[in-house]
């Protein structure tokens, strides 16, 4: 008996698994007539269960056809249970003939079909619906066994307890199984809807979008294909996105991606240079989000071309650089201007003060430059200033050297870390190279060529001195050079405050 009931139950489970797949097709294809198909299919299956039933009393068959009626009620409602019931009754009479067992089977099937159909309609809560239908079946079958005992003195043990337990356990298991199938279908539907929403979002977005799993592109829109140099999105599928990244930024992109995927951040933003499929380099701004695609953790990447923006930024940076350079450069000579000299000299003075190293300041003045302008004109005067500035910059060419136009025909230079003797050599070189230019200046008070007077001071800064003092010392040395006949280098002696003519 138990073996026969187990066989009935196994058939019912396999039937439910197959019907669950079939019902989705039937609902979509025959939405209006779906209950009719449910009733017919369950009626056929109920007949199969009767075939595999077992005879317990004369003309009485024990099987689980009642559970098939419950599943018909759940899936198709009252119409389905009536169709299933009619088919079972017709089969019972045609196959087993008219008998008390057939009549009783007809009554129980009719009652079960009608009550189950109405319970399914009235009760909206899933578990309440199933427990109510199962409870009614148990009561109906108990009535059958009691009736057999009273009417025919048939024994109800051990048949009744086993069968009732089979109905209860079978009904509960079926309810749980169908609930599991429903949840699985809902999850699949939700996943499908989610993927469809991704696809819709991707296809309609004005930005380039692709979905990638472990770097492999699985989905892309037409905009992404256009931005990456492909003809269609299909050309991007199964392409490794890291193959498109400029090699110089590949390692950083790898590290950032795996940190993002293994971290708590749900979104990430970055800018990268990609190499398109046609070989062109292009700057992109990316925004990545973690998503589930095809059951796997994936990244949906939205990106746009920022090449024009990047180019504008580069032009702005270049313009700012030029503007800064113009703000610190003398427009005529190309040397630093007075303002920038003041900034640099403060820095170099503080470095020498901290390190207790010598620093030299040389102040250069073109002799009789006013007479030069009066004689040759201001255009020639400008050329003269440019040529003198060129000689100065060539002689102050170390990394620590600095030169500037101090004002008018005056220039100034900074020599860091040199002794007084080394500084004098450089100053004399400047003076001699300027004379070697042989720029005529027939009205000069020194020689008939352009020459310079140079004041030099060399010292190690201390707390009692201010950087302005060094400028004053150099200015005094320059004054002495002019007073002593021009075209010479004069060194200011800080210790004795005496000028030594050279």
What is the number of alpha carbons within 13 Å of residue 415 lying toward its C-beta? 24
pLDDT exceeds cutoff 90 at 294: no
Q: Are residues 157 and 41 in the same domain?
A: yes
Domain membership flag for residue 241 = yes
pLDDT exceeds cutoff 50 at 501: no
Q: What is the pLDDT of residues 104-156, one digit of tens each?
A: 788 888 999 999 999 999 998 989 999 999 999 889 888 877 877 777 766 66
Q: Are residues 297 and 210 in the same domain?
A: yes
**27: nearest Cα among 63, 80, 67, 70:** 80
With contact defined as beta carbons under 8 Å apart, do 403 and 415 qualify? no
Q: Are residues 123 and 265 in the same domain?
A: no
Q: What is the pLDDT of residue 498?
A: 40
Backbone angles phi, psi at 368, to 5 degrees: 50, 45
Domain membership flag for residue 313 = no
Distance CA 212, CA 238 (A): 9
- CATH number for the domain including 438? 3.30.70.270
Query: Which one has a higher pLDDT value, 62 or 436?
Result: 436
Q: What is the pLDDT of residue 58?
A: 55
Distance CA 369, CA 408 (A): 9
Distance CA 346, CA 327 (A): 18
Q: Are residues 214 and 341 in the same domain?
A: no
Across the beta sheet with 402-407, the strand order is 402-407, 410-416, 359-366, 452-459, 489-492, 499-501
Distance CA 231, CA 63 (A): 64
- Give the pLDDT band (50/70/90) at residue 502: very low
Domain membership flag for residue 194 = no
pLDDT exceeds cutoff 90 at 265: no
Domain membership flag for residue 136 = yes
Q: Are residues 258 and 358 in the same domain?
A: no
pLDDT exceeds cutoff 80 at 478: yes
Give the residue carrying structure tokens 């002689």. 395
Helix (H, G, I), strand (E, B) or coil at 466: coil
DSSP class of 485: T
499: left (phi over 0), alpha (psi -120 to 50) or beta: beta
* Per-position DSSP letters for 218-270, written without gaps between them: EEE-HHHHHHTT-SSGGGTTT-BGGGGB-GGGHHHHHHHHHHHHHSS-SEEEE
Domain boundary among 146, 161, 188: 188
Q: Are residues 287 and 400 in the same domain?
A: no
As a whole number of Å, the end-to-end CA separation of the chain is: 132
Domain boundary among 254, 273, 306: 306
**Between vectors from CA 87 to CA 82 and to CA 93, what angle results, nearest 5°?**
125
Domain membership flag for residue 38 = yes
Distance CA 454, CA 427 (A): 7
Give me the long-range contacts of 258-263 (CB less than 8 A, separation at least 24).
260/288, 260/299, 261/290, 261/297, 261/299
Helix (H, G, I), strand (E, B) or coil at 381: helix
Cα–Cα distance list, 105 to 60, 325, 332 (Å): 8, 105, 117
pLDDT exceeds cutoff 70 at 2: no
Domain membership flag for residue 243 = yes
Parallel/antiparallel/unpaired status of strands 359-366 and 410-416 = antiparallel
Q: Are residues 224 and 256 in the same domain?
A: yes
With contact defined as beta carbons under 8 Å apart, do 290 and 261 qualify? yes
Q: What is the pLDDT of residues 347-359, one digit of tens each?
A: 999 999 999 999 9
Domain total of the chain:
3
* Per-position DSSP letters for 408-453, written without gaps between them: TTEEEEEEES--HHHHHHHHHHHHHHHHHT--B-TT-SS-SB--EE
Q: Are residues 275 and 347 in the same domain?
A: no
Q: Are residues 209 and 105 in the same domain?
A: no
Q: What is the pLDDT of residues 375-425, one digit of tens each?
A: 999 999 999 999 999 999 999 989 889 999 999 999 999 999 999 999 999
Q: What is the pLDDT of residues 163-214, one digit of tens each?
A: 778 778 878 888 888 888 788 777 777 767 766 776 676 677 778 888 899 8
Q: What is the pLDDT of residue 83?
A: 93
Q: What is the pLDDT of residues 78-94, one digit of tens each?
A: 999 999 999 989 988 88
Domain that holds residue 300: 205-306
Q: Are residues 220 and 79 in the same domain?
A: no
Query: Which one has a higher pLDDT value, 481 or 189?
Result: 481
- CATH number for the domain including 112? 1.10.1760.20
Domain membership flag for residue 293 = yes
Cis peptide before 22 (omega within 30 of 0): no
- CATH number for the domain including 240? 3.30.450.20
Q: Is the dihedral of CA 149, 154, 155, 160 positive or negative?
A: negative
With contact defined as beta carbons under 8 Å apart, do 306 and 228 qualify? no
Domain membership flag for residue 319 = no
Query: Nearest 10 degrees: CA dihedral of 73, 78, 84, 87?
Result: 170
Query: Nearest 10 degrees: CA dihedral of 468, 470, 475, 477?
Result: 160
Give the residue carrying structure tokens 């797949």. 21
Q: Are residues 26 and 66 in the same domain?
A: yes
Q: What is the pLDDT of residue 385?
A: 96
Domain boundary among 188, 213, 233: 188
- Determine what percent of the chain is predicted with pLDDT higher than 70: 91
**Between vectors from CA 485 to CA 483 and to CA 490, what angle results, nearest 5°?**
70
Q: Are residues 148 and 255 in the same domain?
A: no
């Amino acid at each position: 008996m138990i073996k026969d009931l187990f066989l009935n139950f196994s058939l019912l489970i396999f039937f439910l698994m197959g019907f669950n797949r079939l019902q989705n097709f039937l609902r979509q294809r025959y939405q209006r007539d779906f209950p009719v198909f449910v009733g017919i299919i369950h009626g056929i299956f109920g007949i199969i269960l009767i075939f595999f039933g077992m005879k317990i009393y004369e003309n009485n068959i024990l099987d689980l056809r009642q559970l098939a009626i419950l599943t018909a009620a759940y899936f198709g409602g009252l119409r389905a249970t009536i169709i299933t019931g009619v088919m079972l009754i017709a089969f019972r009479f045609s196959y087993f003939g008219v008998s008390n067992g057939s009549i009783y089977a007809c009554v129980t099937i009719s009652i079960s079909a009608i009550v189950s159909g109405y319970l399914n309609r009235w009760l909206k809560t899933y578990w309440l619906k199933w427990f109510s239908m199962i409870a009614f079946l148990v009561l109906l079958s108990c009535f059958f066994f009691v009736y057999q005992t009273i009417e025919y003195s048939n024994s109800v043990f051990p048949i009744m307890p086993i069968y009732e337990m089979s109905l209860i356990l079978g009904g509960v298991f079926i309810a749980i199984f169908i609930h599991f199938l429903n949840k699985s279908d809902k999850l699949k539907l939700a996943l499908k809807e989610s993927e469809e929403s991704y696809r819709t979002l991707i296809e309609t977005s004005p930005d380039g979008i692709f979905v990638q799993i472990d770097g492999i592109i699985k989905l892309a829109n037409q905009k992404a294909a256009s931005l990456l140099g492909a003809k269609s999105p299909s050309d991007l599928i199964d392409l490794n996105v890291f193959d498109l990244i400029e090699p110089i930024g590949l390692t950083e992109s790898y590290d950032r991606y795996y940190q993002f995927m293994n971290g708590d951040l749900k979104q990430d933003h970055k800018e990268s240079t990609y190499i398109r499929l046609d070989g062109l380099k292009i700057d992109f701004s990316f925004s990545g989000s973690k998503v589930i695609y095809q059951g796997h953790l994936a990244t949906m990447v939205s990106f746009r071309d920022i090449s024009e923006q990047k180019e504008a930024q580069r032009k702005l940076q270049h313009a700012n650089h030029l503007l800064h350079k113009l703000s610190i450069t003398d427009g005529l000579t190309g040397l630093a201007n007075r303002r920038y000299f003041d900034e640099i000299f403060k820095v170099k003075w503080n470095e020498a003060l901290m390190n207790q190293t010598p620093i030299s300041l040389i102040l250069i003045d073109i002799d009789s430059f006013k007479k030069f302008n009066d004689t040759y004109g201001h255009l020639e005067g400008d050329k003269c200033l440019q040529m003198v500035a060129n000689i100065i910059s060539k002689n102050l060419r170390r990394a620590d050297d600095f030169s500037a136009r101090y004002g008018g025909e005056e220039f100034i230079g900074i020599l860091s870390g040199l002794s007084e003797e080394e500084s004098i050599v450089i100053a004399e070189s400047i003076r001699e190279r300027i004379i070697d230019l042989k720029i005529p200046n027939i009205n000069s008070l020194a020689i008939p060529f352009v020459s310079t007077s140079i004041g030099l001071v060399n010292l190690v800064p201390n707390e009692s001195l201010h950087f302005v003092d060094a400028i004053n010392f150099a200015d005094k040395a320059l004054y002495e050079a002019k007073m002593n006949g021009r075209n010479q280098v004069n060194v200011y002696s800080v210790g004795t405050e005496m000028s030594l003519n050279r």
